[in-house]
Amino acid sequence: MSVQNLRVHRGHTLALDDVTLETPAGRVTAVVGGDGAGKTTLLEAMVGLVTVDSGTVDTPPRSRIGYMPSGAGSWNDLTVDENVSFVGGSYGLSTDEVARRAEELLGRANLLDARDRLAGRLSGGMRQKLGFCLAMLHQPELLVLDEPSTGVDPVSRVELWRLISEAAAAGTAVVLATTYLDEAERAGWVLVLERGKDLLSGSPDEVVASCPGVVVETDAPVHPDLSWRSGEHFREWWPDGPPDGDRPADLTLEDVSIVASLREGMKA
Amino acid sequence: MRAMILKEFRELRRDHRTMGMLIGMPILMLIVFGYAANFSVDNIPTATLGPQAEQAASLIGGVPQAPFDVTDVDTTGTAEDAEGMLQRNEVDVAIVTGADPTVAYIDGSSLFSAQTAVAAFNRLGDRVQTQVLFNPDLKTSWVMVPAIIGLILTFIGTIITSIGMVKEKQTGTIEQLAVMPIKPSTVILGKIVPYFLLASLDMVLVTVLGMLLFDVPFNGSVAVFALGAGLFLFVVLGLGVFISTISQNVGQAIQTAFFFLLPQILLSGIIFPLEAIPWAVRWISYFLPLTYFTMISQGVMLRGAPFDSLWFPLLMLTVMAVVVFTGAVLRFRRDLAPGDGRRAKIKVAA
């Protein structure tokens, strides 16, 4: 499963420009990037929601894809059980199968007590977990999640990630978009997008190791436009190496992502 | 305060629908009410029958300020023929000569024409005896109930359907539906069938209640009525689906539906008689589905009009149903499966 050299226009804007991504079974791939980077467009191209200009989308047929849109993907005026029943029926699952999968998934998502509650009345975290359960109901080969943890409290985020990890462990290829870079570090593969281009990709360690130049920790940045706050201090990127005496900082995905964005800005 | 006012104007300027309502609606109302708000009919289609049909025609036509427009003169026609002509809505008044006094049969289902005709004949004294058919007491409720059935179906078809459809878009679940392995046609039918059934149920309920509460008769064929109602429902449901494709949220859908509803209420003949609306505005009436449904419902319920006399409104509703429904469904399908056009470029894994 992959997308190769994908180009997509949204109106007159080039939303994806020559983006390539492999999504093998059993791996969690995090697509990260700022607002307007092209994360949602990439995910929508994978599930067939947008028109592709050129490139190849090599994904399973719809019946073997699970998709959770950024709006959680549940029907607010249906109860949790009714949502499950509708989605299960739409994927052609038998009543018994739906009941078995609902018990299993809602149990793991701690939603069994909420089965009779309207989806619209669930908390944000519960609604996201329900969206995940609906996307996983038919045991898809490819699970595509658009910002599943946005607006979710830390405890629910942990629970959501447990569910995602379990899905991957069971052999599902998971692709998720996120703006939380700490979250992306839990993924097996990271793709950093910026203005529709894939700037970096690899395992989180590989991406961190591929950071060009040097990032130092400092209290007095020399170039404000190449520095950013990190806790009590600043971090500053030196594309051609820092001045003598400055010690390189321990890099995180967030640092690398910012550096990639700065480098792209300099090129532009 | 100044900032607030400025912000409000800026938002309004970009809200084209609200601006349309603010500017377009008053102009539309002014024109429609100015031209169409006329209850007095001065051109009643009339037939004269019997041995003195020709004399009656020239006599009626010669009366100063007579509202009668003699369109048919038949010297061999009888009272039975006169009733048939009224039932088929060929004329609103049929004057049968040969007996003393002459009898003028008047179609009570064309309420305003009938009231005008009765008043005109009363001015002629005892020379003409009037007989109002299909609505002898000239009750407004008898004419309004069949029309209101259409209005209710229009309301359900456009507003309720468009809200139901646009909610999927507003909550983002339309994307979910688009990704599921369900054919777009199945999604659309699955969304429309419940509204079709509910609207049909509502139609039966309102018709029966109208008959029970207001003693409105049902003189014609249930099958013809059902056929007209079914076709009409397809048109208004199609309008509802169309509105959902050009609206992003429930508010916009209601606003847009209002644009479609208002002309139907004012110009379909349910408030102001079509004959009283000048042609400068009346032509719009003939593009409105409610105009034709009202012809069918009043014809079937009050006059017991047979199928062959209602072929024109039935044909018009059929044409509208095919055009509006197909167009709306194709537009909705495009929203539902935007990626379908480039499916060929996608290599799908086995």
Q: What is the pLDDT of residues B214-237, one digit of tens each?
A: 999 999 999 999 999 999 999 999
* Mean pLDDT of the region B303-328: 92
Option in B171, B340, B348 nearest A61 (CB):
B348
Q: Average pLDDT for residues A239-255, to the nearest whole number? A: 81
Cβ–Cβ under 8 Å, residues A142 and A112:
no
**Residue B101, preceding peptide bond in cis (omega within 30° of 0):** yes
- Sequence-distant (6+) residues with CB within 8 A of A227 are A218, A221, A234, A235, A236, A237
A231 Rama sector, left if φ>0, alpha if ψ -120 to 50, beta otherwise:
left
Integer Cα distance of B320 and B288 in angstroms: 9
Supply the pLDDT for residue B213: 94
Region A151-159: mean pLDDT is: 84
Closest approach of B183 to chain A, Cα-based (Å): 10
Q: CB B172 to CB A1 under 8 A?
A: no
pLDDT of amino acid B64: 66
Of the candidate ranges B26-40, B192-206, B292-306, the one whose mean pLDDT is the lowest: B26-40
Q: In this predicted structure, what is the pLDDT of residue A7?
A: 92
Please judge whether A56 and B339 are an interchain contact, meaning their C-beta atoms are less than 8 angstroms apart: no
At residue A252, the 3 state secondary structure works out as coil
Is pLDDT at B347 greater than 70 in this prediction?
Answer: no
| Contact criterion met (CB < 8 Å) for B176 and A73 | yes
pLDDT band at B338 (very low <50, low <70, confident <90, very high): low
Q: pLDDT by residue (tens digit) across A8-30?
A: 998 888 999 989 998 999 999 99
> CA of B350: which chain A residue's CA is closest?
A60
What confidence category does residue A253 fall into, taking pLDDT thresholds of 50, 70 and 90? confident
Give pLDDT, residue B344: 34
CATH 1.10.3470 fits B44-133, yes or no: no
B30-76 pLDDT tens trace: 877 777 777 778 788 999 999 988 888 888 876 666 788 888 899 89
Amino acid at residue number B258: F
If you count residue pairs, one on A and one on B, with CB atoms under 8 Å apart, how many are there?
Answer: 77
Taking the C-alpha atoms of residue B108 and residue B113, their distance in angstroms, rounded to an integer, is 8
Output the CA torsion sign for A184, A190, A195, A196.
negative
Which tokens is B94 given? 């049929």
Q: Which residues in chain B touch residue A74, judged by CB atoms under 8 angstroms apart? A: 173
**A114, containing H or E segment:** none
Query: Between chains, do B343 and A48 touch, taking CB under 8 Å as contact?
Result: yes
b/e string for B241-259 if b means 16 or more Cβ within 10 A?
bbbbbebeebebbbbbbeb
Q: Provide the pLDDT for residue B342.
A: 39
- Pairwise CB contact (< 8 Å): A51 & B342: yes
Torsion on CA atoms B210, B212, B214, B220, rounded to nearest 10: 70
- Taking the C-alpha atoms of residue A137 and residue B60, their distance in angstroms, rounded to an integer, is 79
Average pLDDT, chain B: 86
Name the interface residues of A facing B (CB cutoff 8 Å): 1, 44-45, 47-52, 54, 56-63, 65, 67, 69-76, 87, 90-92, 134
Q: A59, B342: Cβ pair inside 8 Å? A: no
- Report in angstroms the alpha-carbon separations of A223 from A234, A242, B239: 11, 12, 60
What is the total residue count of chain B?
350
Mean pLDDT of B172-191: 85
Of A47, A56, A74, the CB nearest to B179: A47
Q: How far is the C-alpha of B228 from the C-alpha of B301, rounded, in Å?
A: 12
For residues B189-201, average pLDDT:
89
Calculate how close chain B gets to A1, using CA atoms only, in Å.
7
Q: Report whether pLDDT(B152) > 80.
A: yes
Distance from C-alpha of A13 to C-alpha of A11, rounded to nearest angstrom: 6
Helix (H, G, I), strand (E, B) or coil at B106: strand
Contact yes or no for B347 and A67 at CB 8 A: no
Token readout for B248 is 């992003």
Q: Which residues of A fall within a CB distance of 8 Å from B180? A: 62, 87, 90-91
Distance of alpha carbon B279 from alpha carbon B307, whole angstroms = 28
Closest to A57 (Cβ–Cβ): which among B180, B338, B346? B346
| Higher local confidence (pLDDT), A123 or B42 | A123
Judge contact between B173 and A86, C-beta under 8 A: no
Among A84-88, A142-146, B325-329, which is the least confidently predicted range? Answer: B325-329
Question: What pLDDT score does B7 carry?
Answer: 87
B349: confidence class by pLDDT, cuts 50, 70, 90:
very low
Amino acid at A244: D
| Burial B194-217, CB ≥16 within 10 A → b, else e | ebbeebbebbeebbeebeeeeebe
More confident residue, A32 or B19: A32
Helix pair A154-169, A124-136: axis angle to 10 deg: 10
The lowest-confidence range among A97-101, B79-83, B303-307, B337-341 is B337-341
DSSP E strands: which ranges in chain B?
44-49, 68-74, 93-96, 102-107, 128-133, 347-348
B143-162: string of b/e by CB count within 10 Å (b at 16+)? bbbbbbbbbbbbbbbbbbbb
Most confident of B263-267, B273-277, B342-346: B263-267
pLDDT given for residue B294 in this prediction: 94
- Give the pLDDT mean for B103-120: 90
CA distance A212 to chain B (A): 35
Is A56 close to B176, i.e. CB distance below 8 A?
no
Please give the single-letter amino acid code of residue A52: V
In angstroms, the CA A221 to CA A236 distance is 6
**Domains along chain A with CATH numbers:** 2-203 (3.40.50.300), 205-267 (no CATH)
Lowest model confidence (mean pLDDT) among A198-207, A238-247, B13-22, B286-295: A238-247
Inter-chain residue contact B339 with A73, CB threshold 8 Å: no
pLDDT at residue B173 greater than cutoff 70 = yes
Listed in sequence order, the residues at least 6 apart from B251 whose beta carbon sits closer than 8 Å to its beta carbon are none
Q: Is the confidence at residue B177, as pLDDT, over 80?
A: yes
- pLDDT at site B339: 55
Judged by CB atoms closer than 8 Å, whether chains meet at A59 and B343 is answered as no
Beta carbons within 8 Å of B22's beta carbon, 6+ residues apart:
B12
β partners of residue A215: A237
First-to-last C-alpha distance (Å) of chain A: 32
Q: Is the pLDDT of residue A243 over 60?
A: yes
Q: Residues of CATH 3.40.190 domain(s) within chain B?
A: 44-133
Instruction: Give exposure, A16-31, as e/b (b: 16+ Cβ within 10 Å).
Output: bbebebebeeebbbbb
β-bridge partners, A79: A118
Lateral strand order in the sheet of B93-96: B68-74, B44-49, B93-96, B102-107, B128-133
**Mean pLDDT on B145-158:** 90
Q: Which residues of A158-197 are buried (b: 16+ CB within 10 A; e: fewer)?
A: ebbbebbeebbeeebbbbbbbebbebbbebebbbbbbbbb
Q: Please choose, from the candidates B185, B194, B184, the residue with its C-alpha nearest in 3D space to the C-alpha of residue B164.
A: B194
Whether residue B171 and residue A71 make contact (CB cut-off 8 A), yes or no, is yes
- Considering only CB atoms, B179 lies closest to which of A56, A62, A76, namely A62
- Which residues touch A158 (CB under 8 Å, ≥6 apart)? none
Q: In what order do the strands lie in the sheet with A65-68?
A: A65-68, A142-146, A173-178, A28-32, A189-194, A197-202
Closest CA to A181 of A254, A73, A105, A265: A254
In terms of Cα–Cα distance, which of A212, A157, A165 is closest to A188? A165
Say whether pLDDT at A100 is over 90.
yes
In this complex, the residue of B171, B340, B342 whose CB is nearest that of residue A76 is: B171
